[in-house]
Amino acid sequence: MLTKNQIKLITSLAQKKQRSKHQLFTVEGVKAVEEFLKSSYILEHLYATTDNFEVNPERFSLITAAELKKISGLTTAQEVLAVFKIPNPKSVSTERLIVALDAVRDPGNLGTIIRLCDWFGVEHIVCSDTTVDCFNPKVVQATMGSLTRVHVHYLDLPAFLENTKVPKFGAFMDGANVYDIKLPKNGILIMGNEGSGISPEIEELISERLSIPSYSVHQSTESLNVATATAILLSEFRRRG
């Protein structure tokens, strides 16, 4: 049985302001919820239409499919919705390669980039405050559980870059061919906004401009999507690391 207040709280967590206020976020779907339960994230409450989940009974509510539909943000609700606490910020380690995001706005792109970082062993992502929130439900959904293994930090990106003395790489249309240049084991790979790329303020702080060469026979001003460009660049860093 769900109370009106519970429904109100859970659905309000779709908004960043409410997530910040309550320090809570939602995860949906069996696979994703199980990944978060196995992780160091702290469960606030789990709502499910089955009792297949091993959690403290005080933190579990068996609900009907109709009730789940009321709190789900998905087009088709999927058996379980869990509310977790937003973890305390960790410190950023720059001993290994990290990824920095300058105003990446699309939740699907951030989710894909978190998943890529998980795959390629990048444990820290630092984001400008203008980057979409990693606890946005669409981001959580797109990460497929990778968010439990990758730390995402929101901070003053220009100040962070200025104070961090490691090589800083940025992806540009006119950079050096990434296949040809030497890549270190540590450093910061900076990826920019979907429409406008890396902002001038951040561009000034970049030591190495990288580019993924095009093999098209056509003249085109089109660039690669930020998530696919990140995929190719992380692959290059790891292949030669």
Tell me how far, at minimum, the Cβ of 123 lies from its own copies, in Å: 8
Closest CB to its own copies among residues 205, 227? 227
Which positions lie near its own copies, rule CB under 8 A? Answer: 108, 112, 115-116, 118-121, 144-146, 149, 179, 212-218, 220, 222, 224-225, 227-229, 231-232, 235-236, 238-239, 241
Handedness of CA 209, 214, 219, 222 (dihedral sign): negative
Tell me how far, at minimum, the Cβ of 220 lies from its own copies, in Å: 7
Closest CB to its own copies among residues 94, 225? 225
Tell me how far, at minimum, the Cβ of 35 lies from its own copies, in Å: 9
Nearest to 98 by CA among 69, 128, 126, 65: 126
Closest CB to its own copies among residues 9, 144? 144
Closest CB to its own copies among residues 81, 227? 227
How many CB atoms within 10 Å of residue 237?
21
Tell me how far, at minimum, the Cβ of 26 lies from its own copies, in Å: 20
How many CB atoms within 10 Å of residue 111?
23
CA 226/CA 193 separation, integer angstroms: 8
Look up tokens 């919820």; give the residue. Answer: 33
CA 203/CA 62 separation, integer angstroms: 51
How many CB atoms within 10 Å of residue 123?
17
